[in-house]
Amino acid sequence: VQLQASGGGLVQAGGSLRLSCAASGTFVTVNSMTWYRQGPGGRRDWVADITPRGITTYVDSVRGRFTISRDNAKNTVYLQMNSLKPEDTAVYYCNADIVGIGHKAYTIWGQGTLVTVSS
């Protein structure tokens, strides 16, 4: 089972980007899906998460600008990022809580996608 993230890039301040992260492989279901980001300081910070039923939570710094959503049929989570600021520059990572064969639960990480916001 793996997560494939995409959608990063270079954008000017005030612009928008949409990240995607798709789970593939053999598993029973995907529970919560989460976005993190790791900025120049090196710390990986939680950004937002979404439950299978669509309940969302956000870090204060992105609330109102970012929207997390998911397509359960595609096992994909999205992060729509609007009104981007230079301080949003980071490598964005997704992770997912997987229920695998035999109902074993584990968490997997995507490979990260770089978002650069220029001022």
Query: b/e string for 94-119 if b means 16 or more Cβ within 10 A?
Result: bbbbbeeeeeeeeebbbebbebebee
Question: What string of pLDDT tens digits covers the 119 residues of the chain?
Answer: 999 999 999 999 999 999 999 999 999 999 999 999 999 888 999 999 999 999 999 999 999 999 999 999 999 999 999 999 999 999 999 999 999 999 899 999 999 999 999 99
DSSP 50-108: E-TT--EEE-TTTBTTEEEEEEGGGTEEEEEE-S--GGG-EEEEEEEEEE-GGG-EEEE
